[in-house]
């Protein structure tokens, strides 16, 4: 049996543009602007999650959203409708899932300047994305630095630490 695939998309919606999405477990995070999703109005730093058919509608200011989706297919998304630009930031098969029911969660974590998350593990895998600032991830003997909007994958069982450079406060993780 193939493992499920976790994808992170970035959708840029012009003012009033709409994006219809098929049923999938997903989380939406509003990076900037405003949207209406499932009759809820969301703006900067707002989040939504669900599994059904979905229609996103941008506010008059437009919007930039990040969208995490869990699927069983390796194929990407069909073309974007007018006023919408979608790009896949990262995708990965979730080969290190723990046994049992899946929990899809979205966290936003902030670090003070120069802050550190000491060596730790997560129970399950996920795609992380930096909202602003800079961060260095140390894992498996390698150090990688990321800037705003960058996405990376963490397998869950592998030990890692996060060190934040002197600037940049937070990231979003799913």
Rounded alpha-carbon distances, angstroms, from residue 95 to 1, 34, 124, 128, 157: 11, 34, 10, 16, 11
Give the chain's mean pLDDT.
Answer: 84
Same domain? 88 vs 20 = yes
Site of tokens 């996920």: 126
Same domain? 111 vs 88 = no
Same domain? 86 vs 21 = yes
pLDDT of residue 158 exceeding 80, the answer is no
In the chain, the number of structural domains is 2
CA nearest 2: which of 66, 95, 68, 120? 95
d(C-alpha 152, C-alpha 132), whole Å: 14
CA nearest 133: which of 82, 90, 171? 171
In a domain, 39, yes or no: yes
Same domain? 88 vs 115 = no
Q: What is the pTM of this model?
A: 0.84
In a domain, 124, yes or no: yes
The count of other CB atoms within 10 Å of the CB of residue 9 is 21
pLDDT of residue 43: 96
Same domain? 133 vs 69 = no
In a domain, 17, yes or no: yes
| Contact yes or no for 57/48 (Cβ under 8 A) | no
Please give the share of the chain, as a percent, with pLDDT higher than 70. 86
Q: Domain holding 138: CATH number?
A: 2.60.120.10
Same domain? 20 vs 63 = yes
pLDDT digits (tens, 9 = 90+) for 58-104: 999 999 999 999 988 765 666 789 999 999 999 999 887 767 777 77
pLDDT of residue 168: 47
In a domain, 101, yes or no: no
| Contact yes or no for 17/85 (Cβ under 8 A) | no
Same domain? 15 vs 70 = yes
Same domain? 22 vs 87 = yes
pLDDT of residue 154: 85
d(C-alpha 157, C-alpha 154), whole Å: 8
pLDDT of residue 56 exceeding 80, the answer is yes
Q: What is the residue range of 24's domain?
A: 5-74+81-92
In a domain, 100, yes or no: no
Same domain? 87 vs 37 = yes
Q: Which of 64, 92, 120 is the last residue of a domain?
A: 92
Same domain? 39 vs 114 = no
């Amino acid at each position: 049996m193939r493992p499920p695939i976790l994808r992170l998309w970035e959708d840029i919606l012009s003012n009033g543009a709409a994006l219809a999405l098929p049923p999938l477990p997903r989380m939406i995070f509003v990076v900037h602007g405003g949207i209406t999703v499932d009759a809820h109005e969301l703006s900067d730093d707002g989040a939504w999650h669900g599994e059904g058919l979905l229609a996103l509608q941008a506010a008059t200011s437009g919007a930039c959203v990040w969208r995490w989706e869990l699927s069983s297919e390796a194929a990407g998304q069909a073309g974007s409708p007018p006023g919408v630009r979608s790009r896949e930031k990262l995708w990965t098969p979730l080969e290190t899932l723990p046994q049992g029911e899946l929990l899809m969660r979205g966290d936003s974590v902030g670090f003070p300047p120069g802050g550190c998350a000491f060596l730790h593990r997560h129970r399950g895998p996920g795609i992380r994305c930096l909202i602003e600032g800079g961060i260095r991830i140390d894992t498996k003997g390698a150090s990688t630095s990321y800037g705003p909007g960058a996405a990376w994958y963490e397998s869950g069982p592998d030990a890692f630490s996060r060190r934040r450079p002197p600037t940049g406060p937070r990231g979003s993780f799913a």
